[in-house]
Amino acid sequence: MQKTIIIFFGPPGSGKGTQAELLAKKTDWQKISTGDLLRSEVAAKTKLGKLADKYLKTGKLVPDRFIVEMVDNSLKKKSSGFIFDGYPRNLKQLKDLLLMFKKRIKKSAPIYAIEIAVSDKEVKQRLGQRRMCACGKVYHLLYNSPINEGICDICGGKLFTRNDDKPKVISHRLKVYHHDGQAVLDYWRVLGKLIKINGEQPIAKIHNDIMEKLRELKVI
């Protein structure tokens, strides 16, 4: 089966999750967010969750061997496409993903990485204002606020600040991103599969830019 693969790439807080969600709503492709999967494991206090918690709290990457297994287990075989948010983040994960695809996906399948380009300064501003719901819905106090303060529009749950949205942890996450991420970006760029999008625009405009690019490339 021909499956489309879209990989959202960018620094923490660049809007990968927000844009992956919007794209998933327009397609029938499965969205896989390694951050969300790990947070579910932490909430469920599984063995992986207990281990991952320490990494998430400090902004370090969870060891690759746990990630590859978690991603592999979460792929729905029948989905006509996959949208990855926050994976792969380093060369080892990229290698693992390519191996996973080799087993399941035709060589000719369309595969693109979308880089959402945002400055470190913007990242720090955004993450300071982010609020989350346990159902996974993400808000921003200024740009994407809930109808009722502190309450999720979708499920009525109480909104909270993510543990890793503290200034010190944000700085570390950015450091990890710049250190490990460049080689992954270079891989997609050299392959001619990188779509760079200006992430410092309104959410709806970024979504439109992405849709336009995917239409141009005849992916949708």
Exactly one of 5, 42, 67, 68 binds ligand AP5 (CB under 6 A); that residue is 67
* Candidate residues 5, 194, 206, 214; the one interacting with ligand AP5 per rule CB under 6 A: 206
Q: Which of 29, 37, 25, 21 is nearest to 73 (CA)?
A: 37
Structure-token pair, residue 172: 């570390």
82 forms part of the interface with ligand AP5 (CB under 6 A) = no
CB of 130 to ligand AP5, least distance (A): 3
Q: Which is nearer to ligand AP5, 52 or 214 (CB)?
A: 52
Interacting span for ligand AP5 (CB under 6 A) from 8-16, 74-82, 184-192, 209-217: 8-16
**Interaction of residue 14 with ligand AP5, rule CB under 6 A:** yes
Query: How many Å apart are CA 216 and CA 128, to the nearest integer?
Result: 35
Please report, as residue ranges, which positions from 137 to 156 form the binding site for ligand AP5 (by CB under 6 A): 138-140, 143-144
Q: How far is CA 78 from CA 34, 52, 86, in A?
A: 20, 29, 22
What residue type is assigned to position 12 of the chain?
P
Selected binder of ligand AP5 within 81, 86, 105, 152 (CB under 6 A): 86
Measured CA to CA in angstroms, residue 211 lies from 122, 125, 138, 171 at distances of 23, 26, 21, 31
The helix/strand/coil state of 34 is helix
- Site for ligand AP5, residues 104 to 133, rule: CB under 6 A: 126, 130
Judged by CB under 6 A, the residue of 6, 13, 30, 113 near ligand AP5 is 13
Identified binder of ligand AP5 from the candidate list 7, 15, 32, 48, rule CB under 6 A:
15
Q: For ligand AP5, how many residues bind (rule: CB under 6 A)?
A: 34
In 3D space, the residue among 197, 18, 176 whose CA is nearest the CA of residue 90 turns out to be 176
Tell me: does residue 181 bind ligand AP5 (CB under 6 A).
Answer: no
Measured CA distances, 48 to 44, 84, 85 (Å): 10, 20, 19
Least distance between ligand AP5 and beta carbon 21 (Å): 8
CB 5 within 8 A of CB 110: yes
Of the CA atoms within 13 Å of residue 159, those in its CB half-sphere come to 20
Q: Which two tokens stand for residue 100?
A: 């996973």
Q: Decide if residue 3 touches ligand AP5 (CB under 6 A).
A: no
N-terminal to C-terminal alpha carbon distance within the chain: 16
Residues within the interface to ligand AP5 (CB under 6 A): 10, 12-18, 34-35, 38, 55-56, 59-62, 67, 86-87, 89, 93, 126, 130, 138-140, 143-144, 164, 173, 202-203, 206
